[in-house]
Structures are given as C-alpha cells and as structure tokens.
C-alpha cells in the first residue's frame, strides 16, 4: 500500500511540474511577424471577397464574373482558417478594410462596363502580388508553426489566382501592374489604374513582412 501511495505522490508531482510548463507555453505570444501577417491577410481576404461579389454584380466580361466568384469562394475558405488560427493565438482581426482598400472599392463602385472590368483585374493583380510575396515572407521568417502552415496552404491558391488574372488581363488587353518595392498585404499601393514595375511573384527578391515583420523599413498597412 505504501508503494501505491508513493507512486501516487510521484504522479502528482509530475503533473504539478508539467502544468506550469504547459501554462508558460500557452502564454507565449505570437511574434510581430506572425501577428501582422494574420491581420493583413485577413484584410486582404475581406477585400477579395468583396471584390469577387462586386464582379458578379457589375462585370461586363463573363471571365471576370467567373473568376470573381472563384476568388471570393477561395478567400472565404482561406479566411475561415485565418480566423481560427488568430483565435487560438489571441490575435485580434479588424473587420474593416484599410483606407486604400476602401478607396479601390469606391473606384470600382463608381465604374461600369469595360472600365469596371479593367479596374477589377488591375486591383486584383496588385493585391495578389503583395499577398504572394508577404506569404513567402511568412513561410521563411514566421515563428509560429500554425501561422507558417496557414501561409504554406494559402500560397498555391494565391499563385493560381495570380496566373488566372494574368491570363484574363492578356485576354482583355489590360496591362499587368506590379507593386514597386514588393510590399506586403495591407500596405499602401498604387490605385487600380496605376502600372508600376517590380519583380513578379515567385522571384528570389527579398520581400518585407506584413507591417514590417522583417528588419527592413516598410510602409504602414493599407492595400489597394
């Protein structure tokens, strides 16, 4: 009987030793890189969902309508995972668009016909360039395994969207714009009608993390 009591005491001591360690692990906060990536990619998702729905209502070209629906569906699914991971890590997400995202949305709301289609394709290309590059940065520089896994899952979808947008732009005769300085999602970028030069997604150039997660100086959040 004494042996069982000693075993019970040992088990209790082991559990007492494990509990503080588990609590300490749970209390570890996500890095700035991980936090800002989650916040920025959530806003990108909201932006793309809204634009996809807008394409279904206003697009003149059937290809824009179809791709808009697909992008909205994919980003809705992606954002479910983003919200789940953010909740687990205690990261707060904003339900509002950035000022630049809202400005781009307002421009598309004011346009119609061919002009709308061109603005929509241009805006989506710019946003996906940023999202791809920021996602690559999270994969290489993130700390939390759940956020890195999220980025790894998102990257193929974002790249597919970009490739389809480039094909659609070529069909419509729309120039393919890319954001100067390879900013991350949520950053300030040229408006939907602006064309600038930068390396294409997937290039080997180093890109900053969302909101300045790397050691390089980056602009403040605000995608368009």
For the entire predicted model, the pTM comes to 0.70
pLDDT value, residue 198:
39
Find residue 187's DSSP bridge partners.
221
pLDDT tens digits along 65-98: 999 999 999 999 999 999 999 999 999 999 899 8
Give the residues across from 221 on adjacent strands: 187
Identify the pLDDT of residue 95.
Answer: 83
Residue 197 confidence (pLDDT) above 80: no
Band of residue 1 on the pLDDT scale cut at 50, 70, 90: low
Mean pLDDT of the region 196-200: 42
- C-alpha–C-alpha distance, residues 188 and 196, integer Å: 13
Quote the mean pLDDT of the chain.
78
What CATH number labels 32-224? 1.20.1260.10
CA-only gyration radius of the chain, Å: 22
Torsion of CA 83, 85, 87, 88, to 10 degrees: 170
């Amino acid at each position: 009987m004494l042996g069982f009591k000693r075993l019970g005491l040992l088990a209790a001591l082991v559990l007492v030793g494990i509990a503080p360690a588990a609590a300490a692990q749970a209390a570890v906060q996500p890095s700035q890189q991980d936090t800002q990536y989650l916040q920025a990619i959530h806003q990108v998702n909201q932006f793309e969902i809204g634009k996809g729905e807008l394409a279904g209502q206003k697009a003149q070209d059937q290809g824009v309508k179809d791709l808009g629906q697909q992008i909205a569906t994919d980003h809705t699914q992606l954002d479910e995972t983003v919200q789940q991971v953010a909740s687990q890590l205690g990261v707060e997400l904003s339900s509002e668009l950035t000022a630049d995202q809202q400005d781009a949305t307002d421009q598309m709301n004011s346009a119609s016909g061919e002009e709308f289609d061109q603005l929509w394709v241009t805006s989506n290309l710019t946003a996906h360039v940023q999202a791809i590059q920021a996602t690559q940065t999270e994969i290489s520089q993130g700390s939390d395994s759940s956020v890195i896994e999220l980025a790894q899952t998102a990257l193929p979808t974002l790249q597919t969207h970009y490739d389809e947008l480039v094909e659609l732009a070529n069909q419509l005769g729309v120039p393919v714009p890319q954001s100067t300085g390879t900013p991350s999602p949520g950053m300030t970028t040229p408006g939907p009608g602006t064309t600038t030069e930068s390396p294409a997604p997937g290039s080997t150039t180093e890109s900053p993390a969302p909101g300045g997660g790397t050691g390089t100086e980056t602009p403040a959040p605000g995608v368009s």
